[in-house]
Structure 1
Amino acid sequence: MSKRKIQTVLLSLIGAAVLLTSSLQTPREADAAEKRPNLRKMNVDEFFTDHDGTFILRDLKNEKTFIYDNQRAKQRFAPQSTFKVPNALIGLQTGAVKDEYDIKYWDGVKRELDIWNQDHTLGSAMRYSVVWYYQAMARDIGEDRMKEWIDKIAYGNQDISGGIDQFWLSSTLKISPLEQTDFMEALYKEKLPFDKSVMKTVKRMMIQEDEDHYTLYGKTGSGSGIGWYAGFVKTENGVYSFVTNIDGTGTEAKSMTMDILNKYILY
């Protein structure tokens, strides 16, 4: 057989293999593409009829970002209890707490939520947003170490001058919804300057729903009339970081977020 005929046969075989591979992959890929939201065409106006606010959804696979109210997305607000996420990362990294099961004992002071009036672990205090636990941990971290790590992760305006156990609560520390989205993306991808084990622990504590087709990670925050819900969701068709920031409460921000995710992502 001539050299040219051999090349022709080889090219034909390669072409057949490519076609076979394409035919095997196309249905799954087409199905995933059909389910993946078109971030340029998302319309969330209906969810903001009762609240002023912003919503950001970032497709981490395709690096596309949808923003509702671009101006507010760039405005900085106090992080409130969404700061429990970086606080936990810093606490674990510095050894202020050993692990997610590290107990702090209730001081006997009655607080507004009954669930707060008991002993808590790092994990349960994240789940129930127990402010006193994370304030105590911040004091254990100390101002110098806290400032060092806030600077390392370039968290918002990096201003902790409002007091070691108050600076994130309607005080000096401010962060924009877009900056929160970047932070959540970096945490999901484990690109922050913490030990991998530390980031994995905090992500595990953030799980709020673990269903057959998706896992939702998030944290609410409320204060001074502002509500947050920030996190990321892992689905069969991709991973998305999200942030909702509204004039309202964290509970309301979460409810709005879930309505949007159910319409466009979770089905």
Structure 2
Amino acid sequence: MAKAGWHPAYLLLAAFAVVLSACQSPVVSATGNLDHILENQALSPDVAALVIYRLEDERVWTSSGDRPAERFVAASTSKIPHTLIALETGAVSGPDELFEWDGEVRFVPGWNESQDFATAFRRSTVWIYQTITPRIGSATLGDWLAKFDFGNANTGDADDIQTYWLKGPLEISAHEQIGFLAKLAARTLPLSAETYTQALPIMLEKSGEGWTLYGKTGWTSVKGETDIGWYVGWLEQTAGEAPGTYAFALNMNMRGDNPPLQKRRAAVHEALIAIGALEAPADP
């Protein structure tokens, strides 16, 4: 099986150590380079960042350059902390709370019907989260995002309560996503056991023999700015060549020739295979 190459990336690791200090975990002095994974998707470190962190031994694999530390609008990756906050504060009664569709036809077909909270996360149903955030309030949301070390934790002014994660000012870097996700995967965020019990199944994306993958995509489009796509989450692997828990974060510039879902997920899955966290699919 192909392995990610190794090189000393001390500047990247110095920046990364600041983020992961919130996890109280030392960072190793070498990192696996993932530039070739981006290249396989016709991307480069100038237009995309990819970072993977293994909790058990603090090993880091990352693309090169400055982009892993650069902040971008959080977009729908914010639905991970928003879901946790909504459940913890009681703004949502649970995964089964039903939200009645208001009849407004929106551009994503899956949004145009009544659905429960768990479905809204999986479909990234914006209008439901725009219903929930005013229930919580800007100050409370900002306080929780700060507790989570989720990027700049900036919810903006009162008028931004339904848009601050869609067009800013809430921004986060790939490094900061990893710091947050590592604590979520380790269940060390300041949340009740009940919140973890309710929230984690909502975030489950897929599973196989000995492994479970939790994830969320995101896509922000602000007029006059480059569209940014995200894919973040974590893999829990109990078997295979390299068992462990792997937090991952990818962001990339979105263009017409970059099919968004395919490239975001494909790059992360290929990287997880390359480092031994997942098995390569069997030949047909």
Q: TM-score, normalised by structure 2?
A: 0.77
State the alpha-carbon separation in 2 of the partners of residues 35 and 188 from structure 1.
Answer: 27
Q: 2:203 aligns with which of 200, 203, 206?
A: 206
What SS does structure 2 have at the residue aligned with 1:161? coil
* Distance of aligned partners of 1:35 and 1:43 in 2 relative to their CA distance in 1, 3 Å threshold: closer
Q: Distance in 2 between matches of 1:70 and 1:109?
A: 43
Inter-CA distance 250–160: structure 2 relative to 1 (3 Å threshold) = farther
Look up the match of 1:257.
268
User: C-alpha displacement at 1:145, in angstroms?
Assistant: 1.7
**In the alignment, does 2:143 pair up with 1:148?**
yes
**Offset of residue 259 of structure 1:** 2.3
CA deviation string 1:210-260 (max 9, x = no partner): 111311100000013111110100112111110111112752312221222
Q: How far apart, in 2, do the equivalents of 1:71 and 1:137 lie? A: 35
Deviations 1:136-167 (A, max 9, x none): 11111112321221222232112111511110
**1:5 aligned residue:** none
2:38 aligned with 1:47, yes or no? Answer: yes
User: Structure 1 residues 71, 42: closer, same or farther in 2, change over 3 A?
Assistant: closer
Query: Which protein is richer in helix relative to its size?
Result: 1
- Work out the CA distance in 1 between the residues paired with 2:69 and 2:33: 19
Task: Give the deviation of 1:77 after TM superposition.
Answer: 0.5
How do 1:198-237 residues align onto structure 2 when only pairs under 5 Å count? 198-224=195-221, 225-235=227-237, 236=239, 237=243
* 1:70 to partner: Cα distance: 4.2
Give the stretch that moved more between structures: 146-155 or 203-212. 146-155
Instruction: Please tell me whether Structure 1 or Structure 2 has the larger radius of gyration of its CA atoms.
Output: 1
Q: Which amino acid aligns with 2:246?
A: Y
Cα distance in 1, alignment partners of residues 260 and 247 from structure 2:
17
Shift of the 205–35 alpha-carbon distance from structure 1 to 2, 3 Å rule, reads farther
Q: How many residues align?
A: 234
Task: Judge conservation of contact 2:50–2:62 (CA < 8 Å) in 1.
Answer: yes
Residue 272 (structure 2) pairs with residue 266 (structure 1): no
Structure 1: state its 5+ residue gaps: 1-33
What is the RMSD computed on CA atoms of the aligned residues?
2.1
1:37, CA displacement in angstroms? 7.2
1:247 aligns with 253
The alignment status of 1:98 with 2:104, answered yes or no, reads no
User: Relative to 1, partners in 2 of residues 1:187 and 1:70: Cα closer, same or farther, differing over 3 Å?
Assistant: farther
How many angstroms apart in 2 are the aligned matches of 1:247 and 1:37?
23
Q: Percent identity over the alignment?
A: 29
Cα contact 2:149–2:180 (8 A) shared by 1: no
Q: Is the 8 Å Cα contact of residues 209 and 215 (structure 1) preserved in structure 2? A: yes
- One-letter amino acid of the counterpart of residue 266, structure 1: L
